[in-house]
Amino acid sequence: MLFAKELRRVVFSKIFILFFAAEVFFGFYTQFWSDMGAGYKSFEPPVPGGVYGMVVVDDPPTLTQEATASLINEFVNNEYITYPYGFIHKVHLKGADKDKIAVILSTLTGISDIEHHVSSTYEIEYTYDDDLKQYAIPELGVLDNVSIDDFHALMTEADKILGGGSKYSPDEIMYNFSLGPMPYEEALAEYNSLINDDKITNGYARLFCDYHGIDMTLLPVFLVAVFLSSDKRSKAEQLIYSRSISSIKLVSARFAALVTAEMIPVLFTAVLANIRVAQFYDPSMMDMFAMFKYSLIWILPTAIAVTGIDMLLTGLIPSVAVVIFQFGFWFVTMLMTPMRETFGVFDLVIRHNTEFDRQGFMDNITVFALNRLLFTALGLVCAALYVFVWKLRREGRLGESKLLSKLSLHRH
Amino acid sequence: MDEKIEIRNVSKRYGSKTALDNVDLTIGKGMFGLLGRNGAGKTTLMKTLAALHLKNSGTITVCGVPIEDRKRIRSMTGYLPQEFSMYPTMRVEECLDYLGVLSGMDKALRRERADMLLKKVNLNEHRRKKVKELSGGMKRRLGIAQALLHDPKVLIVDEPTAGLDPEERIRFRNLLGEVAEERIVILSTHIVGDIEASCEMAAVMNEGRILWTGRIADLIHDAEGKVWTVTVESRFLPQIKSLYSVTGMVMQGSQTTVRFVHEGAPDLTGAAETSPCLEDAYIYCLFKNGCIDMGGEG
């Protein structure tokens, strides 16, 4: 009963209309819906001789050659591009660190003065920013006595010297230097897996959730902050506090109402997604429940986690600060989260930016399950802590803290 | 059950500021007025009685229930806070229904009580209106309806008539008088007229302390022989105000009739003793307890 009343309060509020519109537009229309209509998309089985995109290939000579050439160029210019914490960072080495890279390059190539060797041997491919030179280093290979394991160890060491986040790091090196065109057989296998194993929509549901997961990490904060501060803004706070309902009942109803409301645009767009997919595939071959199933196991835990965290923060700090915090968290998360299925247990945003690669997702399914359970638990724990904070405020205990009283939107 | 509120040696501090200082009070059935200036500690006492604030020391029992038993206290108390409103887009009847759910009432009882109370507070024809469409007086009446929704034994109303026009104030006081027949009603206000018109018992508060408590008639009786009037030329008003606690002035051309409180006969030609009203008695109470100076300033 109370849940229904709280849900009604949420969904008939102006902020929910904005949330709904933003979630549908940014989390679905501009991504999933638009992608499906993009010209580069093919919904037909691959034909021999076509182009099917790039994949990581097991080609050590190419990997070692291209990575070494890249490191040499960055060494010669003494400007290394890295992405620690997701943000671009230009590293300029000096002293011992510069020498260490020189030693690594010497170990890889057998050339002691690599800078002199490159400038006197190779042509400049192009120059940019006045003095940064890109040398064409096609035939410089890695010494035969450097095994692939040694190569990876040296590149990892170089990444550490650069402060991490470089394209030589173990997570990135293959995606930067060992890509090759996807073979026809692999493309056909992927297509068949989408049609037969994923019943089409299971694959598209992962893409659907990939997009919604991004927005569900950010947008609920506005709904939570505005909804929870409505008691105070409406001068109804003391009235609510004075009723006999238990704190846990009221907070639980509000938490459940917020999470349910947050899922409404997701489930609504799941219907639209089915319609969209049916425009390109035979509907009789589609799993009509896939979008809903994935929404509940993928997006619902995100909604629970974000709502719980934001509720707790809203109880402790001003709503503006909560929004700023959540936005910053989202921004950093987005920069740090790869779009591949290499997510970890502690990544709130799970990326899988393709309808294909079922096997890649399934290989990581245990991590996925642990991840979703962890964030569901985190959201519930935060909501439970918010019950405690709310109870303290209701009894006038927390409002007496001068600092929190000044900071919180629930202050007396 | 014991139908009274017993407050014994209750103190409450906010940091170094003492909001309630050894408050000792017994409040029985009917209307009880709590009179005092802004900042006297009335709202703190009201909130403490409504289990919204913790006391630092002392004991409070409400109809035999210790204040620490918050759930029972909340179920037997109706509270109308000083600054009352509800969600602006919610309709009047929805407000009562929502707050009824928060009081653990079933649907049939909520409907029955809401219908009865909306008629009682003259809001029945406005039940479909949104809160943001209500006037100040209508909001106050909705406030009383919500406070009575769960049929509480105790009704606590904090400064309920502030900002209301005279007609609304009278209507509101009469409403409180009606509901006080069957429960304890505590009316906190700094408007003496509200207490005079509706309460038989009262207490005067100042700086967290109870200065006086008893029957209103006794407070007025205490001031007998202490209230005086004199008609003087208006140019003498500043001197009069600096010497006496003035409770009223009526200007008639260049002459002004001044009403003031003074212990014993004033040294003022033409001054005549007059019967005290509650306002005089209240000022005399503050004056007697050293809360205001001879010149009338606190």
**Tens of pLDDT, residues A273-295:** 999 999 999 999 999 999 999 99
Chain B residues whose CB is inside 8 A of the A7 CB are none
The answer on A253 and A372 residing in a single domain is yes
Domain limits for position A88: 56-181
The answer on A339 and A233 residing in a single domain is yes
Chain A residues whose CB is inside 8 A of the B98 CB are 5
Q: Does A394 touch chain B (CB under 8 A)?
A: yes
Residues in CB range of B68: below 8 A, 6 or more apart? none
* Number of domains comprising chain A: 2
Cβ pair A250:B87 closer than 8 A: no
The answer on A152 and A19 residing in a single domain is no
| Helix, strand or coil, per DSSP, at residue B25 | strand
Given pLDDT bands bounded at 50, 70 and 90, which one contains residue A410? very low
The answer on A35 and A62 residing in a single domain is no
To 10 degrees, what angle do helices A220-228 and A300-316 make? 40
SS (H, E, C) A58-122: CCHHHHHHHHHHHHHHHHHHCCEEECHHHCCEEECCCHHHHHHHHHHHHHHHCCCCHHHHHHHHC
Question: Within a domain: residue A246?
Answer: yes
The answer on A160 and A295 residing in a single domain is no
Average pLDDT over residues A381-401: 88
Question: Within a domain: residue A412?
Answer: no
- Please, which residues 4-33 of chain A have a Cβ atom closer than 8 Å to chain B? 5, 9, 12-13
Given pLDDT bands bounded at 50, 70 and 90, which one contains residue A340? low
Strand-strand pairing, B65-66 and B227-233? unpaired
* Cα–Cα distances in angstroms (integers) from residue A326 to residues A26, A225, A282, A375, in the given order: 17, 11, 41, 15
Residue A38 is predicted with a pLDDT of: 80
Boundary of a domain, candidates A146, A181, A216 = A181
Average pLDDT over residues A50-75: 88
Q: Does A230 touch chain B (CB under 8 A)?
A: yes
Residue A405 is predicted with a pLDDT of: 47
The answer on A315 and A389 residing in a single domain is yes
> Could you write out the DSSP letters of every residue in A118-186?
HHHHS-EEEEETTTEEEE---S-PPPTTS-HHHHHHHHHHHHHHTTS-BTTSTTTHHHHH-EEEPPHHH
Given pLDDT bands bounded at 50, 70 and 90, which one contains residue A412? very low
Q: Compute the nearest-CA separation of B48 from chain A (Å).
A: 9
Choosing among B13, B43, B52, B144, which should be mutated to test the A contact, i.e. which has the most A CBs within 10 A? B52
**What type of residue is A394?**
R
Lowest mean pLDDT among A55-64, A394-403, B29-38, B85-94: A394-403
Looking at per-residue pLDDT, the higher value among A44 and B99 belongs to: B99
Residue of A nearest to B143 (CA): A239
Contact B7, B25 (CB under 8 A): yes
Residue A341 is predicted with a pLDDT of: 63
To 10 degrees, what angle do helices A319-336 and A300-316 make? 140
For residue A170, report the phi and psi dihedrals to the nearest 5 degrees.
-55, -35
The answer on A195 and A229 residing in a single domain is yes
ipTM over 0.85: yes
The answer on A201 and A306 residing in a single domain is yes
**Domains, chain B:** 5-216 (3.40.50.300), 223-288 (no CATH)
- Please, which residues 243-282 of chain B have a Cβ atom closer than 8 Å to chain A? none
SS (H, E, C) A339-388: CCCCCCCCCCCCCCCCCCCHHHHHHCHHHHHHHHHHHHHHHHHHHHHHHH
Chain A residues whose CB is inside 8 A of the B52 CB are 238, 241-242, 394-396
Boundary of a domain, candidates A134, A161, A181 = A181
DSSP A38: -
Report for A127-141, A382-396, B186-200: range of highest mean pLDDT:
A382-396
Boundary of a domain, candidates A141, A158, A181 = A181
**Tens of pLDDT, residues A111-135:** 888 888 877 777 776 666 666 677 7
Chain B residues whose CB is inside 8 A of the A245 CB are 101-104
Chain B residues whose CB is inside 8 A of the A1 CB are 101, 107
Residue B294 is predicted with a pLDDT of: 60
Cβ pair A395:B70 closer than 8 A: yes
Average pLDDT over residues B165-193: 89
Chain A residues whose CB is inside 8 A of the B20 CB are none
Cβ pair A250:B102 closer than 8 A: yes
The answer on A196 and A129 residing in a single domain is no
Q: Compute the nearest-CA separation of B131 from chain A (Å).
A: 10
The answer on A282 and A204 residing in a single domain is yes
The answer on A110 and A30 residing in a single domain is no
Question: Within a domain: residue A8?
Answer: yes
Report for A6-10, A54-58, A110-114: range of highest mean pLDDT:
A6-10
Question: Within a domain: residue A69?
Answer: yes
What would you measure as the largest C-alpha separation in chain A, in angstroms?
85
Considering only CA atoms, which of B154, B91, B151, B162 is closest in space to residue B123? Answer: B91
Question: Within a domain: residue A186?
Answer: no
The answer on pLDDT for A248 being more than 50 is yes
Determine which helix (DSSP H) or strand (DSSP E) holds B284, and give its type and residue range: helix B278-288
The answer on A201 and A121 residing in a single domain is no
B61: β partners = B6, B66
Cβ pair A5:B101 closer than 8 A: yes
